[in-house]
């Protein structure tokens, strides 16, 4: 399998992967926002519950080790990790796309140099033929 003939398909596949990673990062960001909202909502609920039942200040204080708080913090931590990995994979995909373009560009440059060299040789040979015809 030659890279030159597969290059358009490879780059197209890489672009599709990159697009999917962008979508994954956006979806993860949405989930992260929802988790932060739930965290805030839980705090508001906690305060409102205390006020509703006229509990003494501090009695409804959210304690360390609150399972809901810990669960939300864990989920937020996990979401951030997934987001970093998705962004990392997207960057790697972009690097591969750039590599493919650079390889294609180098190949085109080598081809253009060969064409220029052959054109110079043809021109020199034509000049020699022209000089020899004049004598």
Instruction: Give residue-wise pLDDT tens across range 81-114.
Output: 999 999 999 999 999 999 988 988 898 899 999 9
- 36 torsion bin: left (phi>0), alpha (psi -120 to 50), beta (else): alpha
- Helix, strand, coil shares of the chain, percent, nearest 5, are 85, 0, 15
Write out pLDDT tens, residues 72-82.
999 999 999 99
48-66 confidence digits (pLDDT tens): 776 666 655 555 555 556 7
pTM comes to 0.67
């Amino acid at each position: 399998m030659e890279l030159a003939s597969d290059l358009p398909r490879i780059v197209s596949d890489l672009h599709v992967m990159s697009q999917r990673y962008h979508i994954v990062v956006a979806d993860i960001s949405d989930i992260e926002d929802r988790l932060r909202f739930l965290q805030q909502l839980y705090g508001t609920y906690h305060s409102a519950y205390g006020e509703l039942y006229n509990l003494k200040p501090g009695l409804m204080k959210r304690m360390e080790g609150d399972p809901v708080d810990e669960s939300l913090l864990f989920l937020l931590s996990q979401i951030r990790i997934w987001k970093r990995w998705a962004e990392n994979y997207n960057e790697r995909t972009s690097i591969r796309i750039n590599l493919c373009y650079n390889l294609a560009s180098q190949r085109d440059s080598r081809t253009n140099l060969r064409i220029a060299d052959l054109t110079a040789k043809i021109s020199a040979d034509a000049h020699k033929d022209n000089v020899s015809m004049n004598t």
